[in-house]
A = this chain, B = another copy of it.
Amino acid sequence: MAKKLITFGEVMMRLSPPGYEKFSQASSFDLVYGGGEANVAISCAYLGMKASHVTRFPNNALGKAATQFLRRHWLSTEHVIYGDDMIGKYFLEKGAVHRPSEVIYEREGSAFSLIEPSMVNWEDVLKDADWFHWTGITPAISEGAAKCCLDAIKTANEMGITVSGDINSRSNMWKYGKTMQEVIPNLVEHCDVVITSSNGINQMFGLGDPGDKFQILAKKLIDVYPNIKKIVKKTRRTISASHHQIQGKLWNGKAYIKTDMLNISHIIDRVGTGDAFAAGLIYGLLHYEDKQALDFASAACALKHTVPGDVNTVSLENVQNLMEGDTSGALRR
């Protein structure tokens, strides 16, 4: 029986100039949709899980089209809410070599940012779910989104559903009067699995000293939040916009585990690779031991770098092959 994942967060319209055109050159935009949490849900759905995403879209043809994108990529959209007029957006100009990709966000006043706790009945949403996942982007968007997220986490926790949070957040996103240091720890308190970085632990929770190793910091975090079972990070070495290396690390309270470094040269689209890692981790922890789960997550992350768009549409078989060490990408027929 396939496991079921629930995710919650904003889904944005993503508009990008074709190929490597810059904004100054474009006469059309490629159109997909994405958001850190829905990306995780879709990735898990492609791996064979059931997944439903909770979000809020404008009640017009663009909100419907965004919903249709989620449906196309196998999500249940029965808990999508509609209201207000604007869909969050981001514009992506794809970089290469020394030229960075550029992202311009337009999410202020979006239908999702105006969500209120009363709009979601989490007990109903989470019924028969096995896992709930959130990210540090959601509580940064608005007070309403933050409250909804906390409700979801608490409800899941009470219902015995595993909760994971990819808690990385950009401080320049927090514009509604709260800081991430004020909000994120309350959300983390009820989590089972936390994806973060050394810096993240240091800055968000004031634990340890800058420069402390992940292992040390992870231990300290679990000391403070004993509900956490695993703390996971993904290390990325950025050789150029076209060439990265990634590695997974995990502290489960007992052992410090890390994967081999995966070399990703000739990147197609690096957006959403962190979400692919999170999805791989969720699938992995549901189906494997910790080391294999981390290998699976890293493989999923690496493969996302080859898929255009925000979402990881690779198959379970693809991830398993890479996880088992076949890096050859040899033609299947």
CA–CA, A329 to B99, complex, Å? 5
CA–CA, A93 to B315, complex, Å? 13
Interface set, chain A 151-190, CB cutoff 8 A to B? 170
The verdict on A331 contacting chain B, using a C-beta distance below 8 Å, is yes
The verdict on A222 contacting chain B, using a C-beta distance below 8 Å, is no
Residue numbers in B under 8 Å from A239 (CB-CB): 327-328
Q: Which of A70-78, A198-206, A207-215, A227-235 contacts the other chain?
A: A70-78
Q: Which of the residues B25, B46, B104, B262 comes within 8 Å of A308, measured between beta carbons?
A: B25
| A333-B243 contact in complex given A28-B30, A29-B28, C-beta closer than 8 Å | no
Query: Is B31 within 8 A of A30, CB to CB?
Result: no
CA–CA, A124 to B100, complex, Å? 39
- A264 CB to closest chain B CB (Å) equals 6
| A266-B242 contact in complex given A29-B28, A101-B332, A308-B20, C-beta closer than 8 Å | yes
The verdict on A286 contacting chain B, using a C-beta distance below 8 Å, is no
The verdict on A24 contacting chain B, using a C-beta distance below 8 Å, is yes
Residue numbers in B under 8 Å from A15 (CB-CB): 15, 29
- A277 CB to closest chain B CB (Å) equals 14
| A95-B331 contact in complex given A30-B28, A108-B85, A240-B266, C-beta closer than 8 Å | yes
Query: Is B302 within 8 A of A96, CB to CB?
Result: no
Residue numbers in B under 8 Å from A61 (CB-CB): 22-24, 91, 93, 102, 104
The verdict on A146 contacting chain B, using a C-beta distance below 8 Å, is no
Query: Is B97 within 8 A of A330, CB to CB?
Result: no
A-B contact pairs, 11 of them (CB 8 A): A15-B15, A22-B313, A24-B65, A28-B29, A61-B93, A95-B306, A97-B266, A99-B303, A100-B321, A242-B265, A266-B266
- Other than the given A19-B19, A99-B306, A265-B265, 18 more pairs (CB < 8 A) read A20-B268, A20-B308, A21-B308, A23-B61, A27-B31, A29-B31, A62-B91, A96-B266, A97-B306, A97-B329, A98-B299, A100-B328, A100-B332, A101-B331, A103-B333, A240-B327, A241-B331, A242-B329
Q: Which 3 A-B pairs have the closest CB atoms?
A: A241-B329, A72-B72, A242-B266
